Chain A
Amino acid sequence: MRADIPVAGSRAIGPGNPPPVLNGQRLARPFNRTRELADSSWPPYHAMLERVEVLERAPVFFALPESTIRNLARRVRQIMIAAGGAIVYQGETGDTIFFIESGSCRVIIERPPSAVTVAVLGPGDFFGEAACILGRDQQASVIAQTDCRLVALDKQSMTSVVGRDTEFLDELRRLAHQRYRTFADTAVQAAWGMLLDEATVVGLYSPKGGSGGTCMALNLVGCLSRIHPGQVVLLDLDFPYSHAALLAGLVPTSCLARMTATPPEAFEESLLSTILYHSGGPMILPGALRPEESDEVTPDLIARAVTVLRKTFRYVVVDMGIAIDDSTLAVLDLTQHVIVVAAPELSAVKSAADAIDILRKLGTPDDRLTVVLNNRSAKPAVMKTAVERTLKRTVDVEVAFDGAKPDEAALTGTILSLTDPRSEITRGARTLADILEGKHGNSRRRLQQINGGAPAAVESDC
């Protein structure tokens, strides 16, 4: 059957003019036009290609077989929404997933008396999945920030095509749950307001691959999150293969590299909306999702990102790559503390010694430099005393061999410091967290005392 729906549209709310739900008042401006571009079981060839491309860009959907994506593409609708137009309203039911083909949308959660922008979504993102898949009411209102071209996939069409693919549906549900929690947490955090002073930036540098740098970073963030829930973020700049989110069992949908073209006024919101929230407390900001995207992360972009993160969190832990390039130097400029992770192997220890020399030359004071010796095997090739002799300084934290636990945790997507208190990695991460708290937590408390001991001022985001 050919569903004989014409080229159709509706009026949308004007730019800069909040919809009725947001202010409870009349609409002051005339409405702009919204158009549905096509709606047919058999769309034209070029429209079909566009739809397939949009679906393929979306997380989770890109894993579907090509024939399934084509079937979905035949059933979706393309919709134009003018800037300022409301697409979904918080609290209403929903049966459609909207994919953004072009333009950007603002996700707003109302928490009377204010409304909090929890995310700005761009091309390749989708929304409405929690209402459609989980059957919950819309968690947030979504307003078109610019003229938007959307692709709408309703529940019935999706069920007809992928109803039997339980693996895909489970993955989609998992993503929906994850984003639901992230938005809820971001809204709460924004409502609480900014912290009084800026975060401590901790750079974690591992000069030799395979020394367990990312594992230590993740577990350190886990430990710090237990002390400061919702106030610790891991910025994953371990290029070209950034896998911190994967190791934590999270599905990244965007990354820092994709913020290069974001206008300055929307940068902060976009950046915060990209952060992934782990149910145990830590948050992760992926640097790049694909190896080729790592070139997009410039020192300027890192500086902008860290500036935003410092205002929002208490600790920003940066997992740096192996190479000492412009990006690494930019991070080192911004850090208050550097952790060097080395494995007890000859090449790793030699590299660590060189790295520590460079850090000293860059002006990193010894008391802000912590060396971690991570034993990746039961019988280390180089003993601790030999390591200390080579490094010309003491090892601050030694992590004993933890058996297969780190590998198993990576497979199951768990963070050991949150799930296994007896793990050696957890013990090492806890010692590191104590060192950081001792050095930077005390200075924070002193700063608060100097400021009169007043609690953090709570500002509304909007």
Chain B
Amino acid sequence: MRRHLHAVAAGKSDTLKIDVHDGELNSSALLVELIAPLDQESLAFRQIASAIERSGTVDAVIDGLGSRDPIVRARSARITGAMRMEQAVPWLTPLLWSKAPAVRDSAARALARIGGVRSAGALLMAIQRIGPRPSLIVALARAAPDLYLEAVLGGSQLRAAQPAVAMAAGLRGRRTAAAALILQLRSGSRRARKASSRALGWLGASGGIPELTLALEHRDWWVRMSAAKALGAIPAYRPGPELRACLADRNPRVRRSAQDAVRRLSRR
């Protein structure tokens, strides 16, 4: 199978039949292993994609997403992700809240790899439905196109998902998200403030320093702790009296975060 895959990638063979139901050979793992390092626009990738399409494997894989067997569903999801099969997004979406963890993870990874508005929308829907699971947040960060998360953060709907979106924006590392995160930190819910603080820290956004400094005096210890952690991660921040005051905070976790932040900043 591995030899055949290499032959297809080299253009020596133009058909590629993959049986996702095969109990002995996990051909999806072999395919993913071969495809993973390839660029979507590379010749090898295009040759494998056209071979799969020509041999009817695309339909078999999409059928596999609806299989009763969780192993088949997970394998099919991995193939759709590896091949960036955008047409499979509607079938991948319900797998995100599957009872089988392997299926959920494979679907989330597949959507992250496919990317684009539709994949991001599906992940957002799953976050709303089953809560902010780490795998979903990471997948959302990878799948979301430019200005997608920023737009969701600034909107009035999807309030429940906004902390997760804020985390995804931080993980994504785009500075365009800083403005939306500062807004969340200023007027969001408790969870949203916490998530936005952390995200601003990951971004190292110097524009967030004034708002994070204000958050150090927030009545909620969770917000104070997150703000202290975030300020410790921003290279442009110079410890001021607000952070030093946190060293004597009544909450031990805030005190510890402030100590860590001061230590990190003094090392620079």
Contact = CB atoms under 8 A, between A and B. Distances in A.
Contact of A95 (B84, B146, B150, B183): B146
A92 interface: yes
Interface stretch (A3-11, A303-311, A369-377): A3-11
A159 interface: yes
B179 A89 contact: no
A34 B154 contact: yes
B183 A92 contact: no
Contact of A20 (B87, B90, B124, B206): B206
Interface string A145-161: 00000001011110110
B117 A3 contact: yes
Contacts of B147: 10, 36, 77, 79, 87, 96, 152
Contacts of A36: 147, 151-152, 155
Nearest to B46: A163
Contacts of B151: 8-10, 34-36, 39, 77, 79
10 contacts: A6-B156, A6-B157, A10-B147, A11-B180, A13-B179, A86-B179, A92-B173, A96-B147, A156-B116, A156-B145
A175 interface: no
Nearest to B173: A92
Interface string A118-156: 000000000010000000000000000000000010111
A7 B116 contact: no
Nearest to B86: A160
A173 B148 CA distance: 24
Contact of A34 (B89, B150, B175): B150
B179 A26 contact: no
B256 to A, nearest CB: 27
Contacts of B153: 8, 10
Interface of B: 40, 84, 86-87, 89-90, 93, 114-122, 124-125, 145-148, 150-158, 173-180, 182-183, 205-207, 209-210, 236
Contact of B176 (A25, A86, A152): A86
A154 B117 contact: yes
Nearest to B39: A135
A115 interface: no
Count class of interface residues, chain A: 35 or more
Contacts of B173: 92
Listed from nearest, the 9 A-B pairs whose CB atoms lie closest are: A8-B155, A156-B116, A3-B121, A6-B157, A10-B154, A10-B150, A9-B154, A154-B145, A10-B180
Contacts of A75: 117
Contacts of A96: 145-147
Nearest to A96: B146
Nearest to A1: B90
B207 A11 contact: no
**Among the interface residues B84, B114, B178, which one has the most CB atoms of the partner chain A within 10 A?**
B178
Nearest to B149: A10
Contact of B116 (A1, A19, A92, A157): A157
Interface of A: 1, 3-13, 19-21, 24-27, 31, 33-36, 39, 41, 75, 77, 79, 85-89, 92, 94-96, 98, 128, 152, 154-157, 159-160
B206 A24 contact: yes
B155 A26 contact: no
A33 B125 contact: no
A373 B104 CA distance: 77
Given A8-B151, A10-B154, 19 more contacts: A1-B89, A3-B120, A5-B120, A6-B155, A8-B153, A8-B158, A10-B150, A10-B151, A10-B179, A11-B154, A20-B178, A27-B207, A39-B121, A41-B118, A79-B147, A86-B175, A86-B176, A154-B115, A155-B115
Contacts of B89: 1
A1 B122 contact: yes
A8 B86 CA distance: 23
A79 B117 CA distance: 13
A77 B148 contact: yes
Contacts of A98: 146
B146 A154 contact: yes
Nearest to B121: A3
B121 A154 contact: no
Contacts of B148: 77, 154
B80 to A, nearest CB: 13
Given A27-B182, A89-B176, A7 B146 contact: no
Contacts of A3: 117-118, 120-122, 125
A302 B175 CA distance: 41
Contacts of A25: 206
**Among the interface residues A11, A24, A152, which one has the most CB atoms of the partner chain B within 10 A?**
A11
Contacts of A35: 151, 154-155
A87 B176 contact: yes
A4 B157 CA distance: 11
A6 B124 CA distance: 11
Given A36-B151, A87-B176, A152-B147, A31 B115 contact: no
**Among the interface residues B146, B154, B178, which one has the most CB atoms of the partner chain A within 10 A?**
B146
Contact of A155 (B120, B145, B154, B205): B145
A26 to B, nearest CB: 5
Nearest to A14: B179
Contacts of B236: 24
